[in-house]
Amino acid sequence: MIEVRGLTKRYPGRTVLRNAVDGIDLDVPEGKLVTLLGPSGCGKTTTLRLIAGLEKPDDGRISIGGTLMCAPSEGVYVGVHHRPIGVVFQSYAVWPHMTAVQNVMFPLRSGQKKLPKPEARRRAMEALEMVGLAEYADRPAPALSGGQQQRISLARALTREPEVLLLDEPLSNLDAGLRDRVRDEIRAVQQRLGITTVFVTHDQDEALAVSDEVIVMDHGRIVERGLAQDIYAWPREEFTARFMGISNSLPGTVTSADRDMAEIDLAHGRLRCLASGTPAVGSRVNVFIRPESLVLSRKDPSGRGWKGTVEFSIYHGDCWDYHVRVGDTLLRSRMYREKIGLAHGDPVFVVPEQETAIAITE
Ligand code: ADP
Ligand code: MG
């Protein structure tokens, strides 16, 4: 549905080495929600604004639904109002002197289409229905919660009957408690309408929760893309592993490799685990292990444990995080079930669950 090739954007007068968007290719299949995920400044908003037609690229091509929207080399540029898109930004841009339904109607009454009032109201009510706000239609906008206001901007984007929905960090301005609910509602509306969506966020949990596919970005480029569950469980790139919060990283050397599995010599022992690609024997890798895959135990009947010392622990309600020193390395272990009652200085064994570790070539 969306096809982007070689998209490049430079901002004039900037002394940075890289382009804001640096030759990216991406495809968003019809009816899917694809997330652009990456740290602040990596080019997510610029990419979205280029797809929306709010910015002009220096190079590349963008098609939506098979129609070319822009291609500087061919002199093609379709303006934002002529693209089949709806856009929602972080700031919900709700007009305070209007009711909910007036907010949604406004663009229909003032744009180039200028629908008659009853028709505009009908369309606005339909959109409010879609986001579950029909009963609030005649409330003044300031009387609505932040989450409801954000759903008004979603309704406003939907009244254009867009082929594509573009959402730029739509949850960032909401309180933590509300964020999950609005996130779920956005995903519910998207799946119910089957609308092709690009969702921008810097929050990995949010990305996993809403996405069919995740595109990881850094410095204006795509690092990797994949199904949400693959990006989480089996990142191919070190940047992704770190960004997805796999906080334990151990250097090692490959002693044998076979397709997706490798055997790694680490400072503390040997490990057989997943590998990205088939790393060459003798090559250096970093082994990434999630805290929940490092199990702590006072004894080591399996003989696979690494001997360490507890530094400190942090309580999260549903789990404990233990920071354990093993040799020169500080490892993080997350224990969900019981508090094993370890304190600073206690000796402990760290037992890695090998099947969930991932070796990535340096
Ligand atoms: P993100 O949304 O991932 O945080 P942006 O797309 O906003 O990233 O920005 C990408 C890069 O482009 C950043 O280095 C940013 O400072 C720069 N940039 C964004 N917008 C402008 C602008 N209007 N003028 C100059 N530089 C900009
Ligand atoms: Mg941004």
Q: Give the residue extent of every domain in the chain.
A: 2-238, 246-361
Residue in this structure with the two tokens 């604004």, named with its chain if needed: 49
Ligand 1 atom nearest to CA at 39: 3
Confidence of residue 302 (pLDDT cuts 50, 70, 90): confident
Is 296 in contact with 337 (CB distance < 8 Å)?
A: no
pLDDT in tens, 263-285: 999 988 889 999 988 889 999 99
Ligand 1 atom nearest to CA at 21: 10
> In whole angstroms, what is the distance from residue 331 CA to residue 328 CA?
10
pLDDT at 306: 93
- The SS3 assignment for 265 reads strand
**Candidate from 45, 48, 50, 221 with most ligand 1 atoms within 8 A of CB, to mutate:** 45
pLDDT at 339: 64
Q: What is the mean pLDDT of residues 171-184?
A: 86
Q: 263 alpha carbon to ligand 1 midpoint, in Å?
A: 42
CA 23 to chain centre: 20
The first and second tokens of residue 42, run together, are 């990596």
Instruction: Decide if the complex's ipTM is over 0.85.
Output: yes
Q: pTM here?
A: 0.90
- Asked if the model's pLDDT at residue 92 lies above 80, the reply is no
pLDDT in tens, 34-59: 999 999 999 999 999 999 999 999 99
Integer CA distances (angstroms), 201 to 37, 168, 192, 217, in order: 5, 7, 22, 11
Domain 246-361 fold is OB fold (Dihydrolipoamide Acetyltransferase, E2P) (2.40.50)
CATH number of 2-238: 3.40.50.300
Ligand 1 atom nearest to CA at 12: 25
Residue (of 263, 266, 267) closest to 275 by Cα position: 263
> Which protein residue's CA is at the shortest distance from atom 6 of ligand 1?
43
Confidence of residue 15 (pLDDT cuts 50, 70, 90): low
Q: What is the mean pLDDT of residues 150-178?
A: 90
pLDDT at 355: 78
**Candidate from 11, 48, 89 with most ligand 1 atoms within 8 A of CB, to mutate:** 11
Q: What percent of the chain has pLDDT over 90?
A: 72
Q: What lines the ligand 1 site, CB under 6 Å?
A: 11, 14, 20, 38, 40-46
pLDDT in tens, 101-154: 999 998 888 866 788 999 999 999 999 998 889 999 999 999 998 889 989 999
Of 259 and 54, the structure prediction assigns the larger pLDDT to 54
Ligand 1 atom nearest to CA at 9: 12
**Candidate from 7, 8, 10, 14 with most ligand 1 atoms within 8 A of CB, to mutate:** 14
Residue (of 100, 97, 95) closest to 139 by Cα position: 100
